[in-house]
Amino acid sequence: MNFSRFVILLSLSAAACSSTPATPPPLEGARIGGPFSLTDQDGKPVTDRSFAGKYRIMYFGYTFCPDICPTTAQTIGAAMRALDKSDPDVSAKVVPVFVTVDPERDTPKVVGQFVHAFYPRFVGLTGSVAAIDKVRKAYGVSASKEKPNAEGGYLVGHSNAAYLMDPDNKPIALLPTDQGADATADEIKRWVK
């Protein structure tokens, strides 16, 4: 064996032995998520098991939201479209899911119109108040209906977080939707294998 070949092999062996372990996901071990049984935008029953084997983005909001929810849904949709083009294998493994925190107004049809305005594979979920409360609490999402205005309309104050969940419905990371579609797509690519 010549000397230069020996040096190359020695360098490769040293690099393999000194590699640092992968960084654990930021939400590893967090008590976020759990089983649920809701209704999708087509009126069909959906459970957490419906997404088994897929990564999912879990975002909670409501369709009558005047600003935050549409902006976040738009960012998620733009990130997914970017992944469709740049990394279709990654995109194919991810299901973006919107869960309403306002089931009294957000019927399956209303949720469907909302999510499809942002991305065709976005899944919209609604259900009874009790079912929504259960899933909302499992994901650590706060929500409260504010006092109705004179016309009977109301806002819903809620936390704003988009969780990236693994194929076993365990939390991986919060997506940086406030930093835009590119940052969101980069964070998805970082964790989706």
Domain boundaries, the chain: 28-191
pLDDT average, residue stretch 99-120: 97
d(CA 79, CA 75): 6
d(CA 31, CA 27): 9
pLDDT exceeds 60 at position 9: no
Is 14 or 118 the better-scoring residue by pLDDT?
A: 118
pLDDT exceeds 90 at position 22: no
Residue 17 labelled as part of a binding site: no
Q: Which residues pair with 56 in a beta bridge?
A: 95, 165
pLDDT score, position 19:
40
Q: Which fold has domain 28-191?
A: Glutaredoxin (3.40.30)
pLDDT tens digits for range 121-136: 999 999 999 999 999 9
pLDDT exceeds 50 at position 63: yes
Candidates 120, 134, 125, 104; CA nearest to 45 is 125
pLDDT score, position 190:
96
Is 22 or 156 the better-scoring residue by pLDDT?
A: 156
Sole residue written with tokens 């369709």: 63
Q: What are the counts of helices (DSSP H) followed by strands (DSSP E) for the chain?
A: 6, 9
pLDDT score, position 10:
38
Residue 65 labelled as part of a binding site: yes
- Report pTM: 0.86
Residue 69 labelled as part of a binding site: yes
